Amino acid sequence: MITHSESETVAVGRDLAARLVAGDVVLLFGDLGAGKTAFVRGLAEGLGIDPDEVSSPTFTIIQEYSGGRLPLLHVDLYRLEPKEVDDLGLDELGDKAVVAIEWGERLPRPMPAVITVHLSHLAGDKREIAVSARHDM
Ligand code: ADP
Ligand code: MG
């Protein structure tokens, strides 16, 4: 789908959140500024978490937000080496939470049953967003 503002992208994330269950992994793809973090803010809001808690976790690597229907783990792989990503143990992270991972292309190995979200920057504030069903990578 196409969004025309940050708040429209947040709304797409919010809609997806309504269909998520514990253990779901959402992998986000897209360049810097594509709207990955905005989308995660929507996931938080849809889970009943205060969306203002969601910031870019570039320096903390994993942030956990609670207070909603399910906890949300927010991971940003942007600055990590493949070895460091390995050490995070993402496979074992969250069977009781939803896990949202920015820069999914930096995963060193595929994960089962993921939902992928591809965001691309069109002109101006326009973004194209493609959300997959759960599938094995
Ligand atoms: P990323 O995490 O992919 O680097 P962010 O979500 O942090 O991206 O930032 C997206 C930036 O683009 C924000 O400054 C936001 O206001 C702006 N923006 C403009 N239009 C949109 C849109 N349609 N969807 C999402 N963000 C948008
Ligand atoms: Mg981001």
Question: Region 56-67: what's the mean pLDDT?
Answer: 81
Beta-ladder partners of 135: 114
Contact 121, 4 (CB under 8 A): no
Secondary structure class of 117 (helix, strand, coil): strand
Are residues 123 and 6 in contact, defined by beta-carbon separation less than 8 angstroms?
no
Closest CA to 118 of 5, 50, 30: 30
Q: Amino acid identity, residue 20?
A: L
- Centre of ligand 2 to C-alpha 30, Å, is 9
Q: Is the CB of 41 under 6 A from ligand 1?
A: no
Query: For 19-48, what is the mean pLDDT?
Result: 97
For ligand 1, atom 27, the nearest C-alpha belongs to 6
Task: Give the residue, out of 125, 126, 128, 129, with the most ligand 1 atoms within 8 A of its beta carbon, to mutate for a pocket test.
Answer: 125
**Contact of 9 with 3, CB cutoff 8 Å:** yes
Confidence of residue 109 (pLDDT cuts 50, 70, 90): confident
pLDDT category of residue 57 using cuts at 50, 70 and 90: low
Q: Is 14 in the pocket of ligand 1 (CB under 6 A)?
A: no
Q: How confident is the model at residue 93 (pLDDT cuts 50, 70, 90)?
A: confident
pLDDT (average), residues 117-133: 97
